Amino acid sequence: MFTVRHARPQRIDPRDEPVYQLAEAAHYLALPRSTLSAWLQGQRLQGRKHAPALISPAQRKPVCLSFWNLVELYVLASMRRAHDVSMQRVRRAIAYVAREKRLDRPLIEQDFLTDGVDLFVEEYAKLLNVSQSGQTAMRQTLESSLKRIKRDERGLANRVFPWRHSPSDDPYDVEIDPTRCSGKPVLTGTGVVTGVLAERFFAGDSIDALAADYGIAREKVEAAVRWEGASVAEH
C-alpha cells in the first residue's frame, strides 16, 4: 500500500501580496492619487504620445499594490517631494542603473543604496544638465530616504519608516511592516495602527484616554495623530 504525500504549498512572501489600494498608498506617501496613478498606469502626453508606467503594480484590475510597490513608490516620492524632477528622465536613469548593476528592481534592492544612488544621480544629471549643487542635494535626499528602509539578509526591503517633512530630521515614530497589521502604518515597535488612533482622536477621544486604552505614552499617540493628520496639500 502506497502512502500519498501531499506537497506543501509554497509560502508566499507577504511583500508580494497585493494589499494596498491606490488611495491608501497615496495617503501613506503624502502624494496626490493622480500622481500615483500616472506612475503605475502611465499617462497621456501631448498629441498621441503616451508615457509608460514607471512601476508595475502587483495587481492591475483593480489596481492593488504590494509592499514592494509601496517601497518603489516611496523612493520615487522622495525624489518628487524634495526636487522638481522630470519623471521621463527618472525612468531613463532607473533603467540605466538596472542595466549597469544588473538589477531587476533597483529601487528595492540593496545595491541602489550603495553605488546605485551615485549612478542614478550622475545619469539623471547628464540627461537634464543638473548643476553640481543640485546633484549634491538630490544625492543627500535619496541617501537619507533610503536609510529609512530596513532590509533582510538578502538586502531586500522588509520595513520602511515613512517621512512627511524631512527624511533626515523626521523621527522614526511610524513604520510599515508587511508582516504586522496587514502592512498598515503602526507606531514603531508596536501593533498599534496609527489610522485607528487618529480616527478615534478626531472622533473626540482625548490623547490621555487613548494612551491609557493602548498602554502607550501620550507622546506616541500625539506622533500617530500628527503623522495621520498631515495633509497632501502640505507637500
CATH 1.10.10.10-classified regions of the chain: 171-235
Q: How many CA atoms lie within 13 A of 16 on its CB side?
A: 4
pLDDT for 232 equals 32
pLDDT for 162 equals 93
DSSP annotation of 184 reads -
Q: What angle do CA 54, 58, 59 make, to 5 degrees?
A: 110
**67, 21, 143, 148 alpha-carbon torsion, rounded to 10°:** -60
- Going by CATH, does the domain composed of 171-235 fall within 1.10.10.10? yes
pLDDT for 9 equals 54
Q: How far is CA 112 from CA 25, 109, 123, 145, in A?
A: 22, 6, 14, 12
pLDDT for 120 equals 87
DSSP annotation of 142 reads H
Residues of the chain whose pLDDT is less than 50? 1-2, 6, 231-235
